[in-house]
Structure 1
Amino acid sequence: MADHVNYYIIKKRALPEVFLKVVEAKHLIEKEKAMTIQDAVDAVGISRSSFYKYKDCIFPFYEHTRGSVITVAMKIDDEPGVLASVINAIAAFKANILTIHQSIPINGVADISLSVEILPNTGEVQELINEIETFEGIHQIKILARE
């Protein structure tokens, strides 16, 4: 018989301090990819054994668990590699593509809309847009919405 897992939502002030420090250490490790577990536990003041004991059992609850979303509209040439260069640039900025919609090209130009998730480690959005504008085959790009 498989173990049944139960989850509870508990106010932060009711949690033992060690749980909060484990969450903080996990956050430090996530943000500083080069940071070691030892560095993280030293920074928050807990032992490695406490970290390992609770690390898979406690997670912060977020309204927006990942990041914000932008919607981008573009007019691009319907040629091999143009859309791929846009997708590669988004990946290089560590953003996540949620949706891609492309119209049927008219006179060799396609309308594209992208929903892009902006994550905590994503580069500066305006720099990404500026870079994509310089690509050959891009006629227009603009941010339509930010959520």
Structure 2
Amino acid sequence: MKKKRQFYLVAEEILPEAMWKTVKVKEMMARGEVQTVNEAVQQVELSRSAFYKYRELVFVQHDIDADRLITLFLILEHRSGTLSTVLNSIANFGGNIITINQGVPMGEIAHITATIGIAQMNISVDDLLTQLLQFPGVRKAEVVGYS
């Protein structure tokens, strides 16, 4: 029977240098800064064997706020550009649109549900709602979920 893997959260300064550099290589690869493992390990001065030894064993504990999400419910008038204006506004405030669902418009009204990453937003959620409600064609904007 395979033993269940146990994880520990430790401060960066107590990690051996090879583990710390392995994390850096993984981050460089994820961001597309390098094309190959060889290129990445050379830049951080880590052996390939050390990288392959630790790559499946060390991970970064991201900031807890990095994954903060809200779910918005919007009622919009069904006219050209309204949804686009709302989405561009959210993006301009630093929100990241994760999902968006729109029902078939009925009676010139469209119902939208959108999940938005808010960790990088430069305004509060309340201020975002206030701004959205000021756009022509936005009849309702409310938060229906947090995670």
Q: TM-score range by the shorter chain?
A: 0.5 to 0.7
> For residue 131 of structure 2, what is the aligned residue in structure 1?
131
Q: 1 CA distance for matches of 2:63 and 2:92?
A: 27
* 1:1-147 aligned within 5 A: 11-12=10-11, 14-15=14-15, 53=44, 60-62=60-62, 64=64, 66-119=66-119, 121-124=120-123, 125-147=125-147
Matched residue of 1:104: which SS? coil
Q: What percent of counterpart residues are identical? A: 25
Task: Give distance in 1, aligned partners of 2:9 and 2:133.
Answer: 47
The CA distance in 1 between the partners of 2:111 and 2:65, in whole Å, is 30
**SS of residue matched to 1:115:** strand
Structure 1 stretch displaced more, 125-134 or 80-89: 125-134
Q: What root-mean-square deviation, in Å, do the aligned CA atoms of Structure 1 and Structure 2 show?
A: 3.4
* Alignment partners' CA distance in 2, 1:134 and 1:65: 28
1:66 Cα deviation after fit: 2.9
Q: 1:60 offset after TM fit, Å?
A: 3.3
Q: What runs of 5+ residues in structure 2 fail to find an aligned partner?
A: 1-6, 25-42, 46-50, 52-57
Q: What TM-score, normalized to structure 2? A: 0.61
Which runs of at least 4 in structure 1 moved beyond 4 Å after TM superposition? none
